[in-house]
């Protein structure tokens, strides 16, 4: 895939009253995003996510570094960048006129975006149907739910079908049902239109559900950037298999440890006086799903009586905490 956003050593500083030292909102950020990705900037409030998105969207000038968006220089080509990307703000009500109906809002923005008059009605109808807003087209925005107002904001941004869509905290003020609907919509936009989507979030599960790659941000820096699976591997956080067995299995554990895909295998004894000695074999493995049958067959061949199984996959939350605590060691 082609790289459509390419940033190197981006710095953004702000003057702060009563201090001589400027505040550094972004600190030597480097980032490369490919066409067609759903990419997350993950971090707590104040990490620099929104500042970085504004620079990529041509709304804010960096204080240092170099970069291009869709081949356009981030310093010289602000207008070209803004014309080819769409940005949805953290609140759905920014850019929405409550004195216009849902359809009228889209008609207004179709004119602002200079969409050809012959295309406007069909494009608006397409967005209303695609985002499930058809039944609300004649409603005032404040009479529909926050989730549907967020859909309206996204519909507005999609009218011109720009190749890049920035979503800044797209579910932050939504209830569970509205947030779920918006996450489903993000997937559909990417799948149906091939739109590259860059979103900011501090919801770890959201980044894990939606995105192929994740950049973990903290205090203006990117601490790590990769797929969730690679982040797990680089942290030496592997899938775990917990096998409850009766009796001892020292010989089986020694054989397990020799398998090339097994990182570790240890016995953790539990005491169940009423049902004999129960042990838990804790196995850390690469690609556990592909190798589960091999592990279980080996245990059974060694005469081990298996009474229970549990698998555990390290969460992105663990990776996030380690990345912050280790200062970018992921």
Of 57-61, 207-211, 263-267, 323-327, least confident by mean pLDDT is: 323-327
Does residue 318 fall inside a structural domain? Answer: no
Task: Please check the confidence at residue 267 and state whether its pLDDT lies above 90.
Answer: no
* CATH number of the domain residue 64 falls in: 3.40.50.300
Does residue 319 fall inside a structural domain? Answer: no
Both 227 and 247 in one domain: the answer is no
Of 188-197, 225-234, 252-261, 264-273, least confident by mean pLDDT is: 264-273
Helix (H/G/I), strand (E/B), else coil: 105: helix
Does residue 19 fall inside a structural domain? Answer: yes
Helices H / strands E in the chain, number of each = 11, 14
The whole-number pLDDT of residue 103 equals 94
Both 129 and 45 in one domain: the answer is yes
The whole-number pLDDT of residue 310 equals 83
Reported for 119-122, long-range contacts at CB under 8 A and 24+ positions apart, including other chains, are none
Of residues 187 and 302, more confidently modeled: 187
Query: What range defines the domain where residue 267 resides?
Result: 238-313
**Among 211, 89, 203, 202, CA closest to 154:** 89
Distance of CA 256 to the CA centre of its chain: 35
Does residue 139 fall inside a structural domain? Answer: yes
Tokens of residue 228, six digits: 């969730």
Does residue 196 fall inside a structural domain? Answer: yes
**Among 198, 227, 229, 195, CA closest to 214:** 227
The whole-number pLDDT of residue 273 equals 43
pTM of the model: 0.73
The total domain count for the chain is 2
- Count CA within 13 A, CB hemisphere, residue 143: 11
d(CA 184, CA 167): 14
Both 155 and 284 in one domain: the answer is no
Both 54 and 124 in one domain: the answer is yes
Does residue 294 fall inside a structural domain? Answer: yes
Both 106 and 202 in one domain: the answer is yes
Both 201 and 248 in one domain: the answer is no
* CATH number of the domain residue 299 falls in: 3.30.70.1340
**60-98: pLDDT as tens digits:** 999 999 999 999 999 999 999 999 999 988 765 677 888
Does residue 302 fall inside a structural domain? Answer: yes
Instruction: Give 178's pLDDT tier (boundaries 50, 70, 90).
Output: confident
- Count CA within 13 A, CB hemisphere, residue 37: 23
């Amino acid at each position: 895939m082609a790289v459509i956003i390419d940033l190197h050593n981006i710095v953004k500083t702000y003057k702060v009253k009563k201090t001589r030292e400027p505040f550094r909102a972004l600190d030597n950020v480097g980032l490369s995003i490919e066409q067609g990705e759903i990419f997350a900037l993950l971090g707590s409030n104040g990490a620099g996510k929104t500042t970085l998105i504004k620079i990529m969207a041509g709304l804010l000038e960096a204080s240092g570094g170099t970069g291009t968006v869709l081949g356009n220089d981030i310093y010289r080509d602000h207008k070209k960048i803004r014309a080819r990307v769409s940005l949805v703000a953290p609140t759905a009500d920014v850019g929405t006129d409550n004195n216009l109906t849902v359809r009228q809002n889209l008609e207004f923005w179709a004119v602002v975006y200079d969409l050809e008059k012959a295309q406007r009605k069909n494009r608006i109808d397409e967005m209303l149907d695609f985002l499930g807003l058809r039944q609300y087209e004649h409603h005032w925005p404040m009479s529909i739910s926050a989730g549907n107002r967020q859909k309206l904001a996204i519909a507005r941004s999609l009218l011109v079908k720009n190749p890049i869509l920035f979503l800044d905290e797209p579910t932050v003020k939504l209830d569970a049902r509205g947030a779920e609907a918006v996450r489903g919509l993000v997937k559909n936009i990417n799948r149906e239109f091939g739109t590259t989507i860059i979103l900011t979030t501090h919801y770890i599960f959201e980044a894990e559900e939606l995105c192929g790659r994740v950049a973990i941000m903290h205090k203006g820096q990117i601490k790590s950037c990769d797929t969730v699976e690679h982040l797990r591997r680089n942290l030496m956080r592997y899938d775990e298999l917990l096998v409850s067995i009766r009796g001892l299995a020292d010989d089986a554990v020694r054989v397990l440890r020799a398998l090339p895909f097994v990182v570790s295998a240890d016995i953790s004894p539990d005491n169940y006086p009423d049902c004999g000695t129960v042990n838990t074999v804790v196995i850390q493995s690469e690609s556990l799903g592909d190798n589960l049958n091999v592990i279980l067959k080996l245990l059974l061949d060694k005469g081990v009586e298996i009474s229970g199984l549990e698998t555990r996959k390290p969460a992105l939350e663990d990776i996030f905490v380690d990345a912050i605590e280790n200062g970018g060691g992921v």
